[in-house]
Amino acid sequence: GEDVEQSLFLSVREGDSSVINCTYTDSSSTYLYWYKQEPGAGLQLLTYIFSNMDMKQDQRLTVLLNKKDKHLSLRIADTQTGDSAIYFCAERREKGWGKLQFGAGTQVVVTP
């Protein structure tokens, strides 16, 4: 299939690290993205990684990419209550410049 898959829910305690996982199916994907969506709002671009990289770090965010297994993860260090949101991973395929295929989204709930 052509689905991007994510786990639907993650509960994490404030101060702990969160890890959100994503798998994709298209080996021609060029870039992979992580977006954050808060209730009723648009999508905030968090970070993206080129498919020939295996890691990218940006402040509290670390993206790991295993191209062989088509597995992508987003780690949020020192998770805060403001990190509670839905996180979407998305793949940009080689032939679809600018088009993104989204996963179903992972709802992250941060508890005190």
CB nearer to another protein: give 17 or 41: 41
Least distance from another protein to the Cβ atom of residue 43, Å: 4
Least distance from another protein to the Cβ atom of residue 13, Å: 24
Q: Which residues bind another protein (CB under 8 A)?
A: 31, 33, 35, 40-45, 48, 50, 88, 92, 97-105
CB nearer to another protein: give 39 or 112: 39
- In this structure, the chain runs to a length of 112
Q: Which residues contact 30 (CB under 8 A, 6 or more apart)?
A: 50, 51, 92, 93, 94
Q: Give the span between the Cα atoms of 111 and 8, in whole angstroms.
A: 17
CB nearer to another protein: give 50 or 81: 50
| Strand positions, DSSP E, 16-70 | 18-23, 29-37, 43-50, 55-58, 61-66
Least distance from another protein to the Cβ atom of residue 50, Å: 8
Least distance from another protein to the Cβ atom of residue 99, Å: 6
